[in-house]
Structure 1
Amino acid sequence: MEYRPIIAAQSTVRIVPTPAAPGFVRVVLVSNRYLLGIALILVALVPLFLDALHDTFRSRVRTDIALLPTYIASFGAVCLGHLSLRRIAVLPLVSGASLIFPTFLASFTVGFFVLFILRIPLGLPHLLGSFVTACTWYFFASVMRARYVRPIVGLVGVSPTEAAQLSERIHWQILREPRLPQGISAVAFDPHSNLSMRWSSFITRLVLQGVPVYHLAHMEEGLTGRVKFTEHSDNEFGALLPSLFYLKIKRVIDVVVALLALPFVACIVALVSVLIRLESPGPAIFCQVRMGHRGRPFVCFKLRTMHTAMDGPAFTEEGDRRVTRLGAYLRKWRIDELPQVWNVALGEMSWIGPRPEAIGLARHYERHVPFYGYRHAVRPGITGWAAVHQGNVAMLEAAQEKLEFDFFYIRYFSFWLDVLIVLKTIRTVLTGFGSR
């Protein structure tokens, strides 16, 4: 995903190395071709070097394994991992270093299964060595980028007070006169400010010269992962319409994955249901009518995590006494959401999307939070962009922020954003982030 320029420019945001960066680092860190090229060389040489240190292992490899298919699988996995990192790391609220291991684990797993399914002889030690080498190289490059590379963006029509509130991930420099200082890689401006003809001509010249010019609000969206609605005219609902093409593709993926997962999910749900019934009286499956796609109600299924004899508010509070001991763990690891795979198979939900709210709570939010109903433009999901950043929320202020996350997901609806949510969901499940 790239930020949207006001007028199409020929280049994307350039990353500016600091003057202190060594010459070799300066060249390598700003070029994806160099990063990938060095990675492929290391993946080819390092495992062979390790083989040479162990004669017995080297002999076994030479006599028993055809290394060429393993090399091809390793190179393909590195290229796939590199492409995935490029597409995911530019998304908001992302730490590039934290994505390296899961991204390459996924790409090398794909390479392994391709060779396994095709029954091609596989050099597993060599493949593992390539995986470790790729992870090490990209992690080293990530650390060096954080140390030596920092983007510098010029601001036009923005006051110092407004600039101080912008993300610290970017070095912002307010332009006092219509001239582009050395080192500025892009310009962001507020179209609602009263720009003189002189500044308007300057921005036009930048675009014609290939310097990216961005709407400041769009740039903030890319840095915060949230889309805010204001009274300005740029808040057109057409800008939030999700990709209809990807909606169809995603629906096919949802159904296929749900059907494949259902047998395994059914076994887990059956086992946990027995434990729930043993701990407290009441049904194991909790059914609740929730607001669905395009505002249509549907019955959402969850594993019961609360005592049935206790009353309380419509939402779960911090340390809620209604939650059972087993329920606390089910909520922490999101196991209670597994029955919703059936909702996905029925077409009522998706694996990824805004979390569905109970009808009463959704109506309450619609009365108090502007544009709340627009989150129903896509199918609700088992996990989502807001869920992995906020967790479970109930207060109106938090609901407004949640809506901004949901709007971002709808506006930048894409395969790579879904991939990032999957990775963040894994982190959420392992850490129990946001559970109540």
Structure 2
Amino acid sequence: MNSEAAIKTHVKSPSTKARTKPAPYWLSQLLRLRFQLIGLLTVAALLPAFVRGGYTFAGMAAGNNLQTLTGVAAASVLGWFLHRRLSDFPGTLSTSYIGSAFAGSFGVTVLIYFLFRIDYSRSIFVVGFAVSIVWMYLVCILENRYKRFKLGFIPLGATGNLDDLDGVVWHRIENPAGALDGLDGIVVDLRADLDDVWERFIADAALHGVPVHHVKQIRESLTGRLEIEHLSENTLGSLNPNQVYLKVKHAADWIASALVLVVIWPLLLIVAVAIRIDSPGPALFIQERRGYRGINIKVIKFRTMRVGEIDPTDRESAKTVVADPRVTRIGRFLRVARIDELPQLFNILRGEMSLIGPRPEALPLSQWYESELPFYRYRHIVRPGISGWAQVNQGHVTEVDEVLDKLHYDFYYIKNFSLWLDLLIILKTVRTVIGGIGAR
């Protein structure tokens, strides 16, 4: 595991206060990934099959026990893998998505068995599913209690207030004679003007196997935000995200949107009629926004404001404020439930949007942000989405200083553009919708 992956694995939610206790040797070994997986397979798959087989190895292979054991083992491994990938990202408590990960893995396994008419024991699958969740909860609780990253930092340059960030046990290295014992790494502002003594200290740390991290890398891992200050130091590595995943995602978006529209079209009709009854005007609101590769698109939404309240050329009119008086009665409900966004599925079918991506801004706002914020246009390198990393972490913002923070979330999404981050955003979006958070 490389140093960046290690940071992502052990650095947990920024809201979790850093604390650590020395773990007994046997427990430290148990918390290693290989033993977590071995323990999971033992308690979720092998033990239930052994009990059902009459406590004999021959009985484990009798009847449908073998295919049941295989299915539970495969589902457990897949759930463990999904949980680990989802927990890699900042702001995600290790226990947050255990249920979702294993529900998905066991659900897929049961679906495969159903499609191929494979016989299996339903009771063992249920027991395996429940035990898998309990096991992973115990592992995560022990990890949070005993297995925390301890990082030393040199308080020069941009590292001065680094210990204000939670999620890591911080050690301030005040002088180059400081000991390295017990540190999982050292954080340095590599752009700071370090004297020869500090540079020798950093070199010695690397020679002794202590990883040295640039402060920007650590901030990114802890906050889920990425700043681009100079194009020459482009930390994204390339101005283009993964092209293979970009195409696969576009196809998956189209298929998923088509299937969802087939299912929810009665709801869309009911909402459209309710809007027409609630206030005069059309059911749909079409607004020009900046889209993929900087091309303007016409975004379709259910109308939630009174007709004539938005001037398409006025920047202030394009902003939505808390308890906006322009919003209709039914419009407020549609916004809280995010139902007003559903017509954007047609934008996805037209190839203009994605389910997940940076949110497209109204044209007057986008033009304003582009003139005020460096590299703002870079967010258009992927298709805009109905939901995104910035939305589930920050919510709705319009002022330039807030949009700058939002832009850093967008940059993080583009750098980490992947299936796993998209899945996490979908799960976070569901939580946001249920809680009615961030709507205006």
Q: Scaled by the length of structure 1, what TM-score is found?
A: 0.88
| 1:369–1:14 CA distance, 2 compared to 1 (3 A) | closer
Q: Which of 325, 328, 331 in structure 2 is aligned with 1:327? A: 331
Instruction: Find the counterpart in structure 2 of residue 95 from structure 1.
Output: 93
Q: Spell out the pairing of 1:139-150 with structure 2 (5 A cutoff).
A: 139-150=137-148
Give the 3-state SS of the residue equivalent to 2:396 in structure 1: coil
Cα deviation per residue 1:39-85 (whole Å; 9 max; x = unaligned)? 111112564698699xxxxxxx99x9723222212111111111122
Q: Which of 12, 25, 31 in structure 1 is aligned with 2:27? A: 25
**Deviation at residue 36 of structure 1 after TM alignment:** 1.0
Give the 3-state SS of the residue equivalent to 1:264 in structure 2: helix
| 1:81–1:167 CA distance, 2 compared to 1 (3 A) | same
Matched, 1:400 2:404: yes
**Deviation at residue 164 of structure 1 after TM alignment:** 4.9
Instruction: Find the counterpart in structure 1 of residue 383 from structure 2.
Output: 379
CA distance in 2, matches of 1:219, 1:2: 14
Q: Is the 8 A contact 1:337 1:382 kept in 2?
A: yes
Q: Is the 8 A contact 2:187 2:213 kept in 1?
A: yes
Q: Which of 57, 65, 68 in structure 2 is aligned with 1:67? A: 65
Instruction: Find the counterpart in structure 1 of residue 424 from structure 2.
Output: 420
| 1:306–1:123 CA distance, 2 compared to 1 (3 A) | farther
Q: Which of 161, 166, 170 in structure 2 is aligned with 1:172? A: 170
Give the 3-state SS of the residue equivalent to 1:435 in structure 2: coil
Structure 2 residues not aligned, in runs of 5+: 12-18, 312-316
CA distance in 2, matches of 1:238, 1:182: 33
Cα deviation per residue 1:89-143 (whole Å; 9 max; x = unaligned)? 1211111111111111111111111111111123222212111111111111111
Q: Spell out the pairing of 1:278-427 with structure 2 (5 A cutoff).
A: 278-308=277-307, 310=309, 313-427=317-431
CA distance in 1, matches of 2:3, 2:255: 32
Farther off after superposition, 313-322 or 136-145: 313-322
Instruction: Find the counterpart in structure 2 of residue 57 from structure 1.
Output: none
Q: Is the 8 A contact 1:156 1:189 kept in 2?
A: yes
Matched, 1:36 2:11: no
Give the 3-state SS of the residue equivalent to 1:316 in structure 2: coil
Matched, 1:223 2:227: no
Structure 1 residues not aligned, in runs of 5+: 6-10, 54-60
**Deviation at residue 200 of structure 1 after TM alignment:** 3.0
Cα deviation per residue 1:184-235 (whole Å; 9 max; x = unaligned)? 0112210111223343344344445543221110110111011123369535
Farther off after superposition, 11-20 or 87-96: 11-20
Farther off after superposition, 413-422 or 174-183: 174-183
Q: Which of 117, 134, 140 in structure 2 is aligned with 1:119? A: 117
Q: Is the 8 A contact 2:290 2:366 kept in 1?
A: yes
Matched, 1:432 2:431: no
Give the 3-state SS of the residue equivalent to 1:136 in structure 2: helix
CA distance in 1, matches of 2:225, 2:358: 13
Report sequence identity in percent.
Answer: 37
Q: Is the 8 A contact 1:12 1:212 kept in 2?
A: no
Q: Is the 8 A contact 2:7 2:149 kept in 1?
A: no
Give the 3-state SS of the residue equivalent to 2:226 in structure 1: coil
Give the 3-state SS of the residue equivalent to 1:97 in structure 2: coil
Amino acid at match of 2:293: R
RCO comparison, higher one (Cα < 8 Å, 6+): 1
CA distance in 2, matches of 1:51, 1:268: 46
Give the 3-state SS of the residue equivalent to 1:307 in structure 2: coil
